[in-house]
Amino acid sequence: YTLVHSDDRSGRGRSGLGLHVVDAWTGRERDTATLSGGETFFASLALALGLADVVTDEAGGVRLDTLFIDEGFGSLDDQTLDEVLDVLDSLRERDRSVGIVSHVADLRRRVHAQLEIVKGRSGSTVRQRGSA
């Protein structure tokens, strides 16, 4: 997919960042609302990474080396989850840190370095598992 800016307005003339996707498979431009859960996740990840690169370029070399992803993994099938984790691993290999906030059990088996928040009667504690 390629993300392209759209000037389309919805509702009462208010809208956020107007985006469409150009689907490389069909060659057609379409509204982001037509994306599946996994496709939306990939598009959001690509947008976040692209914005981090723009900030780096525009801010005199200030690098954004850390990215947090809060949820979104539950909508992914096994193949798409593998692809996402491959992308995140490639970021880590380029000295970028990626934090994942998720309740998806499959991620516990696939992500080795973890911080687990354990809720208790007197408050929450943090438990470290594995290593980076």
Say if pTM beats, i.e. exceeds, 0.75.
Answer: no
If one counts the domains in the chain, the total is: 2
Residues 119 and 62 in one domain: yes
Residues 110 and 47 in one domain: yes
What was the pLDDT predicted at 121? 96
> What is the tens place of the pLDDT at every residue in 76-90?
888 888 888 898 889
> What is the tens place of the pLDDT at every residue in 23-40?
888 989 999 889 888 888
Residues 72 and 12 in one domain: no
If you average pLDDT over residues 114-118, what whole number do you get? 90
The beta strand positions in the chain, using DSSP E, are 2-5, 19-23, 28-31, 66-70, 97-101, 114-120, 123-129
15 has pLDDT over 90:
no
Print the domain residue range for 77: 37-129
Residues 82 and 56 in one domain: yes
Residues 28 and 47 in one domain: no
CATH of the domain at 66: 3.40.50.300
